[in-house]
Amino acid sequence: MLGVLGNQTYRHLFLAQVVALVGTGLATVALGLLAFSLAGPNAGAVLGTALAIKMVAYVTVAPIASAFTERVPRRAMLVALDLVRAGVAVLLPFVTEIWQVYVLIFMLQSASAAFTPTLQATIPDILPDEKDYTRALSLSRLAYDLESVASPALAAALLSFLSFHNLFAGTVVGFLLSAALVLSVVLPSPKPVQPRGIYDRTTRGIRIYLSTPRLRGLLAINLAVAMAGALIIVNTVVYVQASFGLGQQSTALALAAFGAGSMASALALPRMLEHLSDRTTMLAGAALLGVGTLAASALPSFGLMLPLWFVIGIGYSSAQTPSGRLLRRSAHPEDRPALFAAQFALSHACWLVAYPLAGWGGAVLGLAATAALLAIGAAAAVLLARSLWPADDTETVAHVHADLPSHHPHLAGSHDGGRHAHPFVIDDLHPRWPARHSP
């Protein structure tokens, strides 16, 4: 898997992602402490609102930002967004009012909502080989999982001799290093596109996404991932410390078990995907999430929680890591930034539903009922994904163009009344999926 790091451009982008993730992780820990210093016992409400603001920024800003990125050099845009994020992080230690936290979080996450899809859409152009790209996706998944473990540990070490305000300095350094790494390589420029209106550019990615059967299936899988993931992220601390009466170290151990399962899956996926289809792998991972979440509704002890969280972690990574492969083959290179932005926005919209369900459900209905409810949601999403994503999904699709004249260049070499076949994606010449491949 590490062989893909031999590509210098990808290696620098991957390192930029890693240092930015560590910086963001430090900011997350520091933000919690800042919220407590400002709001005391109401810190949870402040953090909950900040998390909601983050999701709203992700859902609304990503498609809008993608409308402008197609005309801006990618390296310049990524560096500018890192500098914006660093500038916001510089201001966070000087916050004295809760509303200031909300404003700065929206600015920070809006920049991230533009940065992440742009970076993700650049990788397929750097690594055109399918196997290399699959390894890159697994490395990216590992980076996210390692960050969830490494950042809190690093924060704990730093807090032993620094105040929490100084953690924001680590965030600034992370974003500045990310900018320097991006600046050190030459990135592919956006592909030339025909002029389009702002509405067309803003909605293009979502329209391609929702018109492609495999991506409609991916959206349902995103919902299953969010349902199970929200239980882990929101309620692990409640299970460990309220239900089982254990401490913070046990909470960290449970989250580490989940992360370990996710990492184990990410390490195995490149080889697995040489033998299994994306559809089989992702549906199996999503089904595992549903079963694991249902099992959590009858969790008797912390000892059984650890292996269950490990198994859910396996399903979590298996269900979402291959998604980049689906996006890559579902759009032309010039449309990829818009499509990755659509995935970013729509997947986080699923989390925007799942987070309150897990949080308020746990408080009002109890953990067992909430886990069962989330499991039902995940299972329904898996069944929906299986229905929406055709089992015979192939890149090359035979179709006709009833609306094109026979002499149109696109039909050159076609026979049988204009019927021809090629790798099919939604674009100006193909605004709808052929009917027989629709769900």
- The confidence score (pLDDT) of residue 438 equals 40
Assign domain 204-392 to a CATH class.
Answer: mainly alpha
- The confidence score (pLDDT) of residue 439 equals 40
Query: Does the pLDDT of residue 278 top 70, yes or no?
Result: yes
**Tokens in use for 30?**
């520091």
pLDDT in tens, 45-94: 676 677 778 888 888 888 887 777 667 788 998 999 999 999 999 998 88
Across 249-274, average pLDDT: 86
Degrees, nearest 5: CA angle 284-286-287: 65
293, 371 contact by CB (below 8 A): yes
Q: What is the rounded end-to-end Cα distance, in angstroms, of the chain?
A: 35
CA-wise closest residue to 277 among 393, 139, 384: 393
pLDDT in tens, 26-50: 776 677 677 767 777 666 567 667 7
pLDDT in tens, 99-129: 888 888 889 888 888 888 888 888 888 888 8
Query: Does the pLDDT of residue 248 top 90, yes or no?
Result: no
CATH 1.20.1250.20 residue window(s) in the chain: 1-136+150-189, 204-392
pLDDT in tens, 382-438: 999 999 999 988 888 888 887 777 778 877 766 665 678 888 888 888 888 887 544
66, 113 contact by CB (below 8 A): no
Q: How many helices (H) and strands (E) does the chain have?
A: 14, 2
Across 216-225, average pLDDT: 96
Between CA 247 and CA 95 the distance in angstroms is 31
Q: Within a 13 Å sphere around the CA of 89, how many CA atoms are in the beta-carbon half?
A: 30
Between CA 228 and CA 292 the distance in angstroms is 8
What are the start-end ranges of the H helices in 127-186?
A: 130-159, 167-183
Strands (E), 174-219: none
Longest dimension (CA), the chain: 76
Segment among 33-47, 106-120, 203-217, 274-288 with least mean pLDDT: 33-47
Specify the pTM. 0.82
CATH number of the domain at 1-136+150-189, please? Answer: 1.20.1250.20
- The confidence score (pLDDT) of residue 384 equals 97
